[in-house]
Amino acid sequence: MFLSVTEDLVRRRAEHNNCEIFSLEEISLHQQEIEKLEYLDKWCRDLKILYLQNNLIPKLENVGKLKKLEYLNVALNNIERIENLEGCEELKKLDLTANFIGELSSIETLKYNIHLKELFLVGNPCTEFEGYRQFVVATLHQLKCLDSKEIERSERIQALQNYPEVKQKIREQEQAYLLKRAREKEEAQRRMQERKEKKQNQMESEHGFNSPDSLQDKENHQAEGDGEQEMWRTVEDDEEDRRFWEELTPYTPESRLETHRYIEEKRRVFLVIIIRLHFSLKDDEENNQIILDLAVYRHLDTSLLDVDVQPTYVRVLVKGKPFQFVLPEEVKPDSSSAKRSQTTGHLVVSMPKVCNLRRHNTKILKYYESGQVEKLEVDPSKYSFPDVTKIIQEKERTGQGPVSLQPKRITETKKSYVDFENNEDVPPLI
């Protein structure tokens, strides 16, 4: 099962943009154990800067629709060839440091990225090819800087002159490398099959150990309290660890992925439960928290329990014996709480999640899917329509417009001057 880019992950890394992903211009998804690039070209069309270094990405894909992308960093991944970047029309800088690119001829696809100025290929197998730099400089005319070294005009002229010969050498070395990679893949497949069979045999032997008689013996040992609860950490496990880390293996995408899988397995399985206690982990989406129910002994004194909640894991000491579990999501240690159940005596640890976006999105989705839209209604008895004719107070317009249109007002004006005397000696007002 591979890990891909999820909406939750993108929103968590978009805090600088108020968790809005549609208008994102820059995002950093480094060290997220991503094994497949998906959805970014649909969710974040306006991306200009994308950091994806130190993941497990084997192939460049689903970024071709990012028309505004200017800088792409995919250093320290498992990429073996350059492809699917023709649609990144504004790409100016591409960092492919420390990958597994052996098909140097695949850089020809970057001819369509006319704005590309900087390219980093340090740490890739192709950099060991004879004529590597000359081939890249002659192939990508638009390039100004290769592996942090500026391309001089004289260097490009010389590279173009020797291009046919250099190209032929590159093709030969490339074919030899591809044959070597085919052998490495077969060897990796063989090792993986052997490890799988060995693990299957171990599971069968453990199944035989869990027979009724052996279980009774185990319960007797637990009752004695002599430390036999630490059954998962055995001498054989220590020996397996030593063999795994001391085994000489070539540095390939397969070995890098195998190492990651081994560490992940040890982290989630081998070190998850060191003491054998029943437990349940519940994702309480309604309250946006993770609840761990650990079946500690009912009559065990609470003072013998010690709980340590970290952002990515929870650790419980039961009578000095550790129980550790890796959490599926990041939580808030400061807001977490632990209590004993009054009925069962179980230890219940409630851990609020760091990101509560899923909860809100789920509620909104359910609201729209239900089709029950609440409308704001007003009691008709408690409102009345305003009289629009009284919004603006009427003012007298005496003396404006033709006299014939205001006979009543003129008359009222004349009536208001009751004591008026007409003096003939006074000239009329004009």
Alpha helices (H) in 110-266, listed in sequence order: 132-139, 153-161, 163-209, 212-224, 235-246, 253-265
- Point out the least confidently predicted range of 72-86, 102-116, 328-342, 348-362: 348-362
Asked if 351 and 325 touch (Cβ cutoff 8 Å), the reply is no
Helix (H) or strand (E) holding 43: helix 40-43
Contacts of 368 (CB under 8 A, 6+ apart): none
372, pLDDT greater than 70: no
181, pLDDT greater than 80: yes
- Point out the least confidently predicted range of 97-101, 259-263, 370-374: 370-374
In this prediction, residue 295 carries a pLDDT of 87
Residue 175 has phi, psi (to 5 degrees) of: -65, -40
Average pLDDT, the chain: 78
What share of the chain in percent tops pLDDT 70? 73
In this prediction, residue 230 carries a pLDDT of 45
Look at 349 and 225; give whichever has higher pLDDT: 349
Contacts of 23 (CB under 8 A, 6+ apart): 17, 46
Look at 424 and 220; give whichever has higher pLDDT: 424
Q: Residue 224: which pLDDT band, with cuts at 50, 70 and 90? A: very low
In this prediction, residue 205 carries a pLDDT of 66
For residue 128, the SS3 value is helix
Q: Residue 366: which pLDDT band, with cuts at 50, 70 and 90? A: low
CA distances from 257 to 23, 76, 174 (A): 33, 12, 23
User: What integer is the mean pLDDT of 68-94?
Assistant: 94
User: What integer is the mean pLDDT of 135-163?
Assistant: 94
What share of the chain in percent tops pLDDT 90? 36
Q: How far apart are CA 324 and CA 317, in angstroms?
A: 9
92 token code pair:
């100016």
Residue 3 has phi, psi (to 5 degrees) of: -100, 130
In this prediction, residue 242 carries a pLDDT of 78
CA angle in degrees (0–180, nearest 5) for 12-18-24: 80
Helix (H) or strand (E) holding 294: strand 289-294
Q: How far apart are CA 379 and CA 320, in angstroms?
A: 66
User: What integer is the mean pLDDT of 48-57?
Assistant: 93
For residue 166, the SS3 value is helix
Instruction: Give Cα 422 distance to the centre of its chain.
Output: 96
197 token code pair:
């069979």
In this prediction, residue 371 carries a pLDDT of 52
Look at 364 and 204; give whichever has higher pLDDT: 204
Query: CA-based Rg of the chain, rounded to a whole angstrom?
Result: 38
Instruction: Give Cα 277 distance to the centre of its chain.
Output: 33
Instruction: Name residue, tokens 């000359």.
Output: 134
Q: Residue 222: which pLDDT band, with cuts at 50, 70 and 90? A: very low
In this prediction, residue 228 carries a pLDDT of 44
Instruction: Name residue, tokens 């014939």.
Output: 404
Residue 331 has phi, psi (to 5 degrees) of: -125, 175
CA distances from 256 to 249, 397, 424 (A): 10, 92, 119
Q: DSSP letter at 331?
A: B
In this prediction, residue 79 carries a pLDDT of 94
In this prediction, residue 157 carries a pLDDT of 94
In this prediction, residue 148 carries a pLDDT of 92
Confidence (pTM): 0.59
272-311 tens-digit pLDDT = 444 567 888 888 888 889 999 988 877 888 888 899 998 8
- Point out the least confidently predicted range of 95-109, 118-132, 265-279: 265-279
Q: How far apart are CA 349 and CA 81, in angstroms?
A: 47
Look at 258 and 53; give whichever has higher pLDDT: 53
218 token code pair:
């185990």
Asked if 321 and 229 touch (Cβ cutoff 8 Å), the reply is yes
